[in-house]
Amino acid sequence: MQSLERGLAVIRAFDGDRRSLTLSDVARETGLSRASARRFLHTLVELGYVATDGREFTLRPALLELGYAYLSSLTLPDLATPHLEKLSEQVSESSSVAVLDGADIVYVARVATRRIMSATIRVGTRFPAYATSMGRAILAYAEPAELEAYLARTAPSDRLVPLTARTVTDPRELRDALARVREQGWALVDQELEDGLRSVAAPLRDGTGRVVAAVNVSAPVRRGEIGEIVRHLLPPLLKAAAAIEADLARMR
């Protein structure tokens, strides 16, 4: 364990400001003797993690494999949760990530700052996708045939089930709403899932560019007018979505 700890200390001695280090530099930064530092550096060179010109040492790209091993072991909730925590702290509202499962969205990660719905939302909670911002953020990027199949399942009589007086129930209106989402890159739902609740969502793409999930922020109507809510919530939301997508891309 001590050898592993010292070897990692040698690796951590390098950073953006210290990309090349001499043996003396490494010994000084790690507190190791020159002999120990030399032994660890030469081992890292043999393993392909460090390169040397005979005097200075630099890290090699092979070290990225260690980070990739960690990233590839993570699931979407693992990746998203730190970003949701930061987002919720910034806007003082609850944030979530959901995926599409059949006709519903399913919450896979959530950071709640308060209870703003009559129903308790937790990981595993399901809601009809058509009435949610995250559902629309995902459906907007579905292939035409996939969207028609979805509508055939959820609106067999050419009507969607209203959840509030504001719920879009006409499939043609839903198609128009999804077209706007695709054009602007984000979705807004105003009291269509529950009275008094607004939600803004953005799609999440994997490393291939395919939309696989969505992230949202929800806020009570008393927070302010729609325009005010969008101005306050949308920029941090889009920034969080980009950060999650960057982590997803590294999982490829």
Predicted local confidence at residue 221, as pLDDT: 87
Average pLDDT over residues 218-238: 90
Predicted local confidence at residue 237, as pLDDT: 96
Can you say whether residue 185 is alpha, beta or left, with left for phi > 0 and alpha for psi between -120 and 50 degrees? left
Closest CA to 205 of 159, 248, 154: 248
Give per-residue pLDDT as tens, 162-173. 999 999 999 999
pTM for the model: 0.70
Better-scored residue on pLDDT, 121 or 182: 182
Element (H, E) at 43: helix 34-47
What is the Cβ-side half-sphere exposure of residue 197, based on CA atoms within 13 angstroms? 22
Average pLDDT over residues 217-230: 87
**Mean of the per-residue pLDDT values for the chain?**
87
Closest CA to 138 of 81, 218, 215: 215
Closest CA to 187 of 70, 98, 107: 98
Most confident of 117-121, 137-141, 156-160, 248-252: 137-141
CA atoms of 187 and 49, how far apart (whole Å): 45
Provide the percentage of residues in the chain whose pLDDT is more than 70. Answer: 90
The token pair that represents 24 in the structure block: 């003396």
